[in-house]
A and B are shown apart, each in its own frame.
Chain A
Amino acid sequence: MDFLVSSFASALRLIGSFSPDVVDAVGTSLAVSAGATVFAALFGIPLGLLVGLSDFPLKRLVVTLLNTLMAVPTVVVGLLVYGFLSRQGPLGVLGLLFTPTAMVIGGVLLAAPIVANYSLASVRGADPRIVPTALTLGAGRFLAVGTLIGEIRFGILAAVIAGFGRVVSEVGVAMMLGGNIRGYTRTMTTAIALETSKGEFAFGMALGIVLMTVALLVNLFLNLLQQR
């Protein structure tokens, strides 16, 4: 127990002293996660809305595929993107492997299915009277769909936040595509894994506390918006 308490105290000191290693890892994590979430939202929200609002052959198959993609292990996504970005891969010439850009690409592949699925679920859970009400008040198709999006905005925001949560908390993609390079591609999660294995438990705990705080703040923000 003493070990945990002293580690926790050291962790708080590291956070309080703005240790450069902690600040770098937090900064990289947030930047990569935010970048990946933006692109995942750009793909995922329209995809979820499109699937939710339209009827087409094989729709059930598409929904099943989207659900399956949510459960793909992060290391498999990492492996796939590694295959494309490695020197022998089709995109190797771009020299993106072990860069934050590669981590963002992997993050987009992780988060987009989550954003799409949650957006789809929001559309399915929306009040079925929204679109007919808008139409009968004279709205065109675009305004009716826009009104629907406005009414389910918190569901869509939750989708984006869930996507962010997936990226910021994963290790596999960040490790395989970023390479855990100190001050460049080292994120909170890869640093926790590395430093803990080296016996630097307090450092890992400091990053764990920051990671939990980020998750808490994001959810508080969501709750605050929902209450407005």
Chain B
Amino acid sequence: MRAMYRLDSIRKCYGSNVALDIEELTIGEGRLYTLTGANGAGKSTLLNLLAFLSPPTSGEIFYAGKRVDWNHGSMEEYRRKVTLLHQSPYLFGGTVYDNVAFGLKARGIQGEARQRMVDKALDGVGLQGFRDRKARELSGGEAQRVAMARALALKPEVLLLDEPLANIDRETTGLLETLIASLPAQGTTVVLITHDPDQPGRLNGESILLEGGKVAIPHPPVRR
């Protein structure tokens, strides 16, 4: 199994505040990790780094063995392999279809292929028949499922989830947990932030605990 990410001497600072200080962290391909820690431990900062949304203040990130160069070239290439889903995801104005198709359009996928991928993603989260509904009129749980479908439609190499199940009902939680737990078998690497102490066990993943921006419990090493 190869390393999807390798973080070397990563620091992320906001002014004089060190939000993240990781000596070394390896995330294996096709594995599921739960990221836990108190508020302000640096979990969301780490996820933003892994999503290539913000560069580290210092240190190196390697993605699939390749050093990420934050200063040169577009980050689009990396961002198209990784998708981040927030606790309260933003749904664009328009229909459910418009939202789920957004990333596919950005990748130039058109016509019937796009429609098939949207329908399949909506089926996967149990939202058949929702494609023409207005996104802004959905309930919180439905919106979360649309955001999940929007992410999964892209078949990302890595799915990053920032407390995706925090504000939704038990039934939807069960559905999405089953879906998330099935992703590593399809080759998708999953990193999920959670405050639910039972969730790591339910998802059968490996745990990474952050404390004060540092990795407190090293997870089992991954052979590179």
Contact = CB atoms under 8 A, between A and B. Distances in A.
B154 interface: yes
Nearest to A129: B90
A129 B91 CA distance: 9
B84, B90, B103 — which one has the most chain A CB atoms within 10 A of its CB? B90
Interface in A123-138: 127, 129-130, 132-138
B114 interface: no
A29 B103 CA distance: 45
Interface string B52-64: 0100000000000
A136 B79 contact: yes
Contact of A134 (B82, B86, B102): B102
A150 interface: yes
B133 to A, nearest CB: 16
A133 B91 CA distance: 9
Interface stretch (A14-22, A97-105, A139-147, A188-196): A139-147
B51 A136 contact: yes
A139 B106 CA distance: 5
A39 B210 CA distance: 54
Contacts of B74: 140-141
A140 B77 CA distance: 9
Contacts of A140: 74, 76, 106
Given A147-B92, A151-B93, A138 B86 contact: no
Given A129-B86, A132-B53, A143-B106, A138 B80 contact: yes
Contacts of A132: 53, 84
B107 interface: yes
B83 interface: yes
Contact of B84 (A136, A143, A147): A136
Contact of B79 (A138, A147, A151): A138
Interface string A29-68: 0000000000000000000000000000000000000000
Given A136-B51, A136-B82, A151 B107 contact: no
Contacts, number: 52
A138 to B, nearest CB: 4
Interface string B82-123: 111010111011000000001100110000000000000000
B83 A136 contact: yes
A138 B103 contact: yes
Nearest to B89: A133
B189 to A, nearest CB: 15
Interface residues of A, number: 17
B12 interface: no
Nearest to B74: A140
Nearest to B153: A137
A134 B154 CA distance: 13
A138 B92 contact: no
Given A129-B86, A143-B106, A136 B93 contact: no
A136 B53 contact: yes
A144 to B, nearest CB: 9
Contact of B154 (A129, A137, A141, A147): A137
A137 B86 contact: no
B80, B88, B103, B106 — which one has the most chain A CB atoms within 10 A of its CB? B106
Contacts of A137: 83, 102-103, 106, 150-151, 154
B170 to A, nearest CB: 26
Interface of A: 127, 129-130, 132-141, 143, 147, 150-151
- Pick the 9 closest A-B CB pairs, nearest first: A137-B103, A129-B90, A138-B80, A136-B84, A138-B106, A133-B90, A139-B106, A138-B103, A140-B76
30 contacts: A127-B90, A129-B86, A129-B90, A130-B90, A133-B89, A133-B90, A133-B92, A134-B102, A135-B79, A136-B53, A136-B79, A136-B83, A137-B102, A137-B103, A137-B106, A137-B150, A138-B76, A138-B80, A138-B83, A138-B154, A139-B102, A139-B103, A140-B74, A141-B74, A143-B106, A147-B92, A147-B102, A150-B92, A150-B93, A151-B92
